[in-house]
Each structure stands twice: as C-alpha cells, then as structure tokens.
Amino acid sequence: MSAEKAPKGTIKKVLEYVSKYRFLIILSLMLTVINVSLTLYIPLLFGSAIDLIIGEGLVDFAAIRPELGKIAILSVICAGALLAMNLLNNRITFNTARDIRNDIFRKINVLPLEYIDRHPTGETVSRMVTDVEQFSDGLLMGFTQLFSGVLTIAGTLILMLKINWKIALVVVCLTPLSLFVARFIAKHTYKFFNDQSKVRAEQTGVINEVTGNLKVVKAFNREKAELKRFGEINERLEKVSLKAIFYSSLTNPVTRFVNALVYAAVAFVGATDVISPYTALTVGMLTSVLSYANQYTKPFNEISGVIAEFQNALACAARIFDILAQTPEKPDSDNAKTLKNTEGNIEVISVNFSYDKNREFMKDLNFSAKKGQKIAIVGPTGCGKTTLINLLMRFYDVDKGSITVDGTDIRNITRRSLRASFGMVLQDTWLKPGTVRENIAFGKPDATDEEIIEAAKRAHSYSFIKRLPNGLDTVIGEDSGSLSEGQKQLLCITRVMLSLPSVLILDEATSSIDVNTEIRINKAFDELMHGRTSFIVAHRLSTILDADKILVMDKGRIVETGTHKELLEKGGFYANLFNSSFC
C-alpha cells in the first residue's frame, strides 16, 4: 500500500495522535531553527577569520581570537540544540508509539471474536509492533529531517546569492544531477530489494516450519531434504542480496561524485572571481561559499529517502487505523442484568446462526439444561459443537431465537457476569508466562495458597506440582516447554476448580491425559459438577456414558437427544457413531 492509496483521513488521524505533543513538537522545531541557523552562521565566521589571516603576510591575532571564541561558543550551542532536539524527537516518537499500541490493545479486547477468527494472529501482531514502529520512526523523525533539510536548502541558497550570485547559479544548476542519479539507481534497485524481501520471507517460513515441527521432521528422517531445501533458498537469497546491495551501494559514491563536481565548479568560479579585480570576493568568502555549497547538496540526498519514509509511514498508519476503525463488540445494554448466584438453568430456543450470513449453518436449535444436569454434545467434526459453546459464552450473538440463563436472555446479561458464571477447560491448553501459582489463580487473583493447594489436590495436579523445582513458585516459560501436555491440561483444570463456576464447559478437557489420570480427573469432575450444570464436548464417547442428556449434532442441527441407553436403543445416528468408535 502506498501513501497515495492510503484511505482518506489517515493524515488527520495521525495529526490527532501527534497533536497531544504539540508543545514538544513546537519546541523541537524551534531547536531545529536554532541548529540550522547557527550551522549556517558559523561558516561566515570562519570566512572572516581566514580573511584576517591572509593580509599581506600578517596575522591579526587580536581580531581572530574573538572570531574563534564565537565559533567555539556557537558550536557548543549548536551541539546542545541538536542533542535536545533528538531527545525531544525520541520522546515524541516513543510516546506516540505507546499511545497507538495501547489503543490497539484496548481495541483488540473489545473487538468481536469474529474479527479475531478471520484475521491471522501474525498479521494483527505485525500491525501492532512492526507497523507502529515504522510509522513512528518514518513519520515523526522524517518530519524533522525534512523540515531541517528545507531550512538548510533555503538558508544556504539565500546566503550564496548574497555573497556571489554566479556561484549560487552554478550550485542550483548542477545539484539536481545528484537527485536524478539517485532516483535512477533507486528505481532499478527496487526490483532487487523486492526480490530479496520475497526470498527472505520464504526463508523465514521454512525456518519457522522446520523448527516448529522438528519432531515430525526427525520422525520421518527428513533432515537432509529440509537442509537441501533451506540451502537452495539460502543461495538464492545470497545472489539477490548481492545484486541489491551492489546496486544500492552505487548511490552514495555516485551522488558524492556529482557533489564533488559541484564543489569543483564552485571552487573554479570562486577562484576566478577572487583573482578578478572587478569582484569583491575574498578567500574567506570563497571558503564560506564552498561550505554552503556542500551543505546545500547534502539535504537533496536525504530528502528523497525522507519522502519514501513518509510514504511507508502513511501506509503503515493506514493499516494501523484499519484496526482502530473496526466496529467494536456490541456493548451491554444499559439495563443489562448482572448474574449473581446463578442456578444454571439454560434454555436454547429456536436458535439460528451462521458465520457467513449468506450461507445457513445452525437452524432451529432447541434444548434445555436444568440445574445440575450433565449435558454431552457429540457429533462429527464441523457439526457445530464449538459453535454452540461460542453462543453459550456469547462470543457470538445468535441471529434468531434466544438463549436464556435462569430465564433471562443472555443478550440482556452483562458479558462479564455471564462469563464469570461459566468455567471452561479447552482442548488447547493456554498458560501464560509466570509462576504456577499465577496461572492457577488466573481467574481468581485473590485466592490464598490454601485454596490453590486444595484445588490442585481435587484436580490431581498437586502431586506433580510438588515435584517441580520451586513448587507453586516454579516459573513457566512462554511455551510451557518444561511441562508435558497432560500436566498443562491438569493446570488448566485446576484453574477452573479454583474459580468454582456455576456452569462448566469441558471441551475434550481430558484429551491429553493418560487413561489412569483421566479416571481420577473424571472423579474430581464428578465432585465439581455436583449441583452444577455441565456441558461436555466429547469425541471419545466412552467419556460421556453417564450424561443426563446427550445432544447429537450434525450439520448445525440437533438430530437426536437422549441418554446413552435411549440413543443406543434407537439405533440411529448416535448408535452408528458409538459402534464405529469401538470397531
């Protein structure tokens, strides 16, 4: 996405974020003016000092000392202004990046689950981290460089015209050559850098693929094949990188060569005027003009890069603001009820729902669950089991019909209190980086150690927790690599045990646990589920034989309902599923 194609209003939104720091920006621009002004004034002082040195073989030291003193003082002020300007720019940059990241993270927490499901996690993370970084650096730092460059060009041009219009004309005519050369080279190197990015992305993909599935690679003895594939990509990356670097490296020496030609032309014209009896150009003035010619050409080499940074920054900003512009999750109604002391009586009445509104999925779903009942949900993959759980938790709202908890439509209940009444143990475990204690107390941060230990004992996780290096204080890494899948699942179950919700949802909660442990866990679940409504999503039908009610789903519909015994006697869909699982 280029800056020209950025959505309308992007610059306005950028200014809204930056305007919070308008005082710092104004101060930064003032320091830029001071820095550029002093940088342009110092060559005049050097020129005056040189003219005092060259005077019929005599040196007026008394006159030179004040000039050198001024140069020293102004150089210190100039350096101080530059340092302060950089500190201010960094503060503006980092503060703006912080504000945007905070807003994106806040937005993600209120976005409907539909958005998260439809966008890859990596893409969202990239927008939040990489795009924000490039936006802040390119736009804010680039703005200062552009302002400084324009001031330098204008200032040096005015001073050169004032000193000698001929030299100024030479500089103005020859300087654009460096721009044309740089643009020509950049245009031709773009293809190589683009190819380099593609190959690098391919290489990164292979690295992630192999390192993330190293066990599979080793299990099938594919090490040599994958090494060969990686080597081939690495060779292509080397070739295209060398071309890109070679052609891009031509920019600096070629533009410097053009600048040297400008410098030589200025020196030639200036020297001619110095020796001419018809001009008043002194050697000191020529020295100043040469310095200005060098300063005049330098910003031209930087401005093209600054403009590219602006374009990249605006493109990144457009991607960032695309997230921030997304419609948030529909807020709770003003009169939404807060669930307290939930009984757990749930009714699903004529529910219709589709992820794609143009294609029907779930239609006319009806069932009820009374307090303390154990409801099993079974069916083939893609039949709607997870969708039903998403609707119960109100991660999605139904299209038609209603779901009630204790007689109240869940759309009229605050999401916070609704979800606090449900406890979920999912097939995919999630543990955050931190201690075992912090992970167990995730849903109840104020829990005491006694409560945590009691929950761990009931979940049969305390025996392995005690064997960890630091017990409850053992730190779990980002990927929980030191724990087995079964141990991670046990901790997730313990987390639910601790919060003691009114309704339980178990989505293949014992799938990663061995049979003996599963038996103990099921006994613990029986204790936990006593008096509580429970929904058990199961693929292993042997785990739900004692369910009070089994909902058999297929293609988004409940095709059969009953106990295990009743459904077997019917000899229908469930009976076929059950029999096939033991064949």
Backbone angles phi, psi at 434, to 5 degrees: 155, -170
Strand-pair category, 422-425 with 408-409: unpaired
Which two three-digit tokens encode residue 299? 């910003």
| 122, containing H or E segment | helix 121-126
Pairwise CA distance, residues 404 & 345, whole Å: 8
Give 27's contacts (C-beta < 8 A, 6+ positions apart): 88
CB neighbours of residue 449 within 10 Å: 10
pLDDT computed for residue 404 by the predictor: 92
Q: Which CATH superfamily hosts domain 1-164+281-327?
A: ABC transporter type 1, transmembrane domain (1.20.1560.10)
Backbone angles phi, psi at 540, to 5 degrees: -85, 105
The burial class, CB within 10 Å (0-12 / 13-18 / 19+), for 136 is buried
CA dihedral (528, 529, 533, 538) positive or negative: positive
Give 556's contacts (C-beta < 8 A, 6+ positions apart): 360, 361, 362, 363, 365, 383, 384, 387
Q: What is the pLDDT of residues 480-531, one digit of tens each?
A: 557 777 788 888 888 888 887 888 888 876 665 666 666 766 766 776 777 7
Terminal Cα-to-Cα distance of the chain (whole angstroms) = 56
pLDDT computed for residue 402 by the predictor: 92
CATH class of the structural domain 346-581: alpha beta
pLDDT per residue rounded down to tens, the chain (583 residues):
443 444 557 778 887 888 888 898 889 889 888 888 888 888 777 777 776 665 555 666 676 778 788 888 888 998 898 899 888 888 888 888 888 888 888 888 888 877 777 776 666 776 777 778 777 777 766 667 777 878 888 888 787 777 777 777 777 777 777 667 766 766 666 567 667 766 776 777 778 778 767 767 777 777 888 888 888 988 888 888 888 777 767 766 776 777 677 767 766 765 565 544 445 566 666 677 777 777 776 776 666 666 666 666 777 777 788 888 888 888 888 888 888 888 888 999 999 998 877 788 888 889 999 988 889 898 888 888 888 988 998 888 888 999 999 889 999 998 888 888 888 877 777 788 888 898 888 888 888 889 999 888 888 788 888 888 888 888 886 555 577 777 888 888 888 888 878 888 888 766 656 666 667 667 667 767 777 888 888 777 767 788 889 999 888 888 989 988 888 888 888 888 888 765 4
8 A C-beta contact, residue 362 and residue 353: yes
Q: What is the pLDDT of residues 370-417, one digit of tens each?
A: 988 889 898 888 888 888 988 998 888 888 999 999 889 999 998 888
Q: How many distinct helices (H) and strands (E) make up the chain?
A: 22, 12
Which two three-digit tokens encode residue 503? 């309704």
**What string of H, E and C letters represents the secondary structure of 435-480?**
EHHHHHHHHCCCCCHHHHHHHHHHCCCHHHHHHCCCHHHCEECCCC
Pairwise CA distance, residues 228 & 235, whole Å: 11
pLDDT computed for residue 96 by the predictor: 85
pLDDT computed for residue 245 by the predictor: 76
pLDDT computed for residue 508 by the predictor: 74
Which two three-digit tokens encode residue 529? 């589920």
The burial class, CB within 10 Å (0-12 / 13-18 / 19+), for 224 is exposed
Pairwise CA distance, residues 62 & 111, whole Å: 74
pLDDT computed for residue 403 by the predictor: 92
pLDDT computed for residue 109 by the predictor: 83
Which two three-digit tokens encode residue 553? 């789903």
pLDDT computed for residue 197 by the predictor: 63
Give 447's contacts (C-beta < 8 A, 6+ positions apart): 440, 441, 455, 498
pLDDT computed for residue 3 by the predictor: 39
3-state helix, strand, coil in the chain (%, to 5): 65, 10, 25
| 560, containing H or E segment | strand 557-562
Cα 468 to its chain centre, rounded Å, is: 34
What is this structure's pTM?
0.66
